[in-house]
Structure 1
Amino acid sequence: MGARGWIKKGGACLLAVSLAAAGCVKKPQKDAFIQHWDVQAQKSEGFSPNPHPRKVEFSKAAITARPEEKAEAKPPRALPKLKVTLRMYDTDLVAVIRAMARAANQNVVLSSSIPGSTGAGQEKGLKVNVNVVDAPWDETFTSLLSSNGLAYSVEGDIIRVLTLADMEQQQKLKEAKNRMAAESVRAKDLEPYTTARVEINYAELSKIYATLSGMCGSASTAMPGGQEDKQGAQPGQTLRDITPTSATDDTIKIHGPGGMRRPGQLNCSVVPDQHSNSIIIQAPQADAEKLVALIEQLDKPRPQVKLKAFIVQTDRETAQQLGVQWGGLLKNSNFQLSPAQAGTIASTTTSGSTGANNGSTTTTGGTAGTTMASTTTAANAGNASTTTTNNMTPIFGGGTSGQGFAINNPANLTTAATGLGAAGTGLNFLFGKIGENVLEAQLTALAEENKIKILSNPTITTMENLSAFVENGKDIPYVSTSQNGTNVQFAHATLKLEMLPHVVDGTNLRMKIVVKDDQVDPNQGNWVQGNPPIYKRETQSNLVVEDGDTIVISGLTRDTVTDANSGVPFLRDIPGLGWAFKAKSSDIHREEMLIFITPVILQEKPVAPVPPVAGAIEPPVAMAAVQRP
């Protein structure tokens, strides 16, 4: 046998050995410890908290002294300022006052105690001498009264001229009215006060306190003991200087511990206690019970929501195939959604049900679009095609399946539909039921075939109305030079998914979704002083989904440009002639990122009933949540 024969035989043996070795190579196995806890995490997804009886402690009712307050006094009406000239000798005071009233067009009422104010005592009137030239009316009027031991008060449009004895009598009358009003208010408003401590179990203490504070009156202060410095009337004073102006202002207002109250507010005060995470209430028994009932409504256990997400990276073709393959059942009619055709954005079903495609605006120029379903018999236009065949995964019967309607991938909407060109790059939202087993099995199978790459598969459980987010990436150092030297700063280049669920009616959720995708430009030709630029993309959307629906976010694309130089060695380096022996090529690879979010409302943990024991004493009735003293 020649050498050539030995070479052929040796090559065949080597090939056989290589194939045998390749067949014996095992696929990499998952770590048993990690796999065990993955299974445990799927089995024990958790529950929403069950409500428990609230502990409320009431103290014994007690009379609480409350401060007295007076309403703020209104400023009196100003007297006229016009200039007057008076030259009178040995003239009756009453006549001078009336002349001044006519000159200023004022309404003046004279007390009967003033000499000369009545016909019987006119001959006993006070005589005055006045010589005033171009003086203000108010100064002349007050000086005239003060010189003769008189005073005045302004009540609306009337000026009352009184003697000092009249003013002191008026002050006593006002004080008597104040006492009567205060006693009346005390008899009506003074009630036994109680102090209650209410534990806050689920809500935030600060938010409950802020809500209850708006229900109670604001704090107010008053003079200690309600005492006033009383002085006798002085000549030239107004009645307002020593007594309240009107009967409404002089009523002493009685307030509870919360202070002054607006209409609708309760007579109460609340104080948060951080140590025991409780609210301390001081109020009459009826108002305290109202606040406790309000806390019962506000501090309820909120449902928890499990958010499961898949963040995968694939190429455009695989993403389109996923859109074709997802199928489901709507009202006994099978249908299938396919990628959009040129110039169409409507979807069609034979069942009349509606599928939604909520587009969302992005910072890279993506536009929002809405895809609605209409009831027709044929899908002659739109991104949905109807079929009555069963060439998809069935809902019932053999195989794994979803539980609702399918979702298409809108990343291939064309120029006529969105204006984004042949391959639209908008961030798009769709939602519907896929079925967790269908989604996870299909993504896992595609990952094993290296058609997709599962970047992250987080599962987060959060309470209703509380945000949950997943962030993955790195910080990029930036070097900047200034007069103070060289500084190193960091910029975030991360993929962040933030979700805020709100349970609407127990079966639907309102979701706020924020997606941020910041990536470093790998092309060093675009770098500035060695610092790479960061491409930022962000989208926000609010939508309502059903419990268990899967939301799909697509359109997060990235183009990778690879430049390559090839040619004949040595010859391509010849000056002038080298271009004939070398070539330059550029390869563009587009990657698509898909995000799948499935929110599931966790139900309350079932409580097993305790079987009765023969001969046991029947347990007492459960204590009510609010225990009265």
Structure 2
Amino acid sequence: MKKYNKILSRVLILGVVCLAFFSLRAHAQDEVFTLNLKNADIHSLISTVSKQSGRNFVVDPRVKAKVTVISAKPLNADELYETFLSVLQVHGFSAVPAGDLIKIVPDVNAKQGPVPIYDPGAPSSDQLVTQVIKIVHVPAAQLVPILRPLVPQQGHLAAYAASNALIITDRASNINRLIKIIESIDRPDNEEVEVIRLSHASAREVIRILGSLQTRGGQPGASPGVVRFAADERTNSILLSGDSAARMRFRGLIVNLDTPVESGGNTRVVYLRYANAADLVTILTGVSQGQAKIGTSSGEEGGTAGTVTRAVTTNAGANNAQAQPAPTPTASIIRSTNTLQSDQPQVDIQADEDTNALIITAPPDEMRSILAVIEQLDIRRAQVLVEAIIAELSQNNSQSLGVNFAVDGSDSDRPAAYTNLGGATQALAGQIASGGTSGLSQGLSLALGRVGNGGVDFAFLVSAIAADSDNNILSTPTLVTMDNQEAEIVVGQNVPFVTGTQLSSANNNPFQTIERQDIGISLKVKPQINEGNNIKMEIEQEVSDVSSTSVTGASDITTNKRSIKTTVLVEDGQTLVLGGLIDDQVNDTNEKVPLLGDIPVLGSLFRYRSSTKNKRNLMVFLHPTILRDVETADFYSQGKYDDLRMAQLNHRGDTPIANIPAPLLPELHLYYQGEPVSGEDPTIGTIVPATSNAPAATDPNLSKDLSLNVPAANAQPNGS
């Protein structure tokens, strides 16, 4: 019994304590405070709020400020805490809950702490919270640039594409405002896509007309509905996208435009910009015949009674056909899949070469196909600038030393005995009797003896020579050609070669046959531009010249020839070596009289020695550049133009006739503006350019810079 009373008394005491605690807490909640501070330290405010609200705070050392709070009415504990949060926001601080504690830190660090998740049911406050908002109808990434200006700098806004959601860290009151804005934007789109298939008109042409109408739609009084449209040329259809009212308005316009044309009036004249009209006639004829075959086979498979036929008439010269009484096979080519009937449609394609135009008569469906083919073929073809570099280095060294003699002890005018070492005496023998020396070789020649009517006419001939020659040849032929077009450049001379000789009956006037050949530098190239700026090139390169030394046994002049014929694949702007030759020759010749030439010292009188060393390096390089537009072509043309003008400026000397200036190219800006050249060359008049825009001096996107610093027009070069 005592034990039971003891337990009961303890329970009563615990109940009284709890009742007293809750009574005090309720009293604290009902207690109101009037908060008025002027330039008070923020730590004093934190202490007051902690004491009145019962919350524990951890204050960052960087939290320092003077605060002023004016309260017009008393505040309870919750209202006091909300006022405290507002004061922190004004001064750039935030209260971040962390368990039983609340951290007061600067705003820049607040979002990196344990920010609580936003509770939509909680009242709005200045508490820093994080909210994840699911986006349904629009991409979340598209909302980020729209909402970014509405989030303060210390806040955070990011899009998570995987779940199409937005993550926002900000004050709870601002998040409520952002949620309302997002709800007004994240709505389903009522736009639909409609496909309208045309029967008579061309989808591309209708799109052009609708585009001009929509451009004018920005004017006052235009409908606010916006319609987007596109053409599907494969099915000849138009795709409309927009609200129903706007689509209905454009649908009515399309129906009115899609009406059949009158029979016999579907003739178009197409002026070509780049392609050749006569060449396109053959291609378009094949296209029309192919369509006719497809239509015929389709009709047969469907089991219809009639057959579809097409007659295609091509004419490469319309003007000539009218002048002739009857068409000839060269003026008119008629091709058809079946016999032409009067009630069947006819396709007629003619080329007017004078205006480079096509005259096409065809049904609407075939007209659309033909025009589509013309549009894809009539394009600007790229050009290729081909620069070949031919470098040749040669070095020749030769030395010779020998003694020859001739003895004439007879009464005749011819030598009785002589040595012929090195081939010198044989050429000289015929000159002994006449006393001439034209047969002497180059170098030092020393003759010992005498020339007279009796006795010895010629004795010893000592010859010595050393020759060195160095050649450095650099040739850079350049030419421009179109894609898949063969081009050739030849720089040299047309040299005659004797191919035959025929003597007359009297043997006094020989008749010679001569054949002329080009000697010099020739470059023949055919480029083909492939996908990825690869260039396939068929190249024939030849360098030939007349040799300064003749070959033994040759009846006419001798030519040196170096040629390359190959097919290569090279990148745009790449320098590729096509081939070359490294030739190194050493020739040593020792001629002597047997036995006599082996005698010490005296044997030198019966010996002839020569040494020759030839070394030659030849390399051929290729550098192609694709010229796709006018600007690139002008850039390289300006570089070559400036190179030539600079060479003229550097080599202008005194002219032999006074008041006659040396030839000089005009400055490039005068060339493009069509101004008359001032005083440099009176034979040059006004130059009218092909284009009105001068090219840029440099282009960093190109593989090399050909620009030069050309002096001004009034600058006078040295020596001029």
How high is the TM-score relative to the length of structure 1?
0.33
Q: RCO (CA 8 Å, sep 6+): is it higher in 1 or 2?
A: 1
Q: Greater Rg, structure 1 or structure 2? A: 2
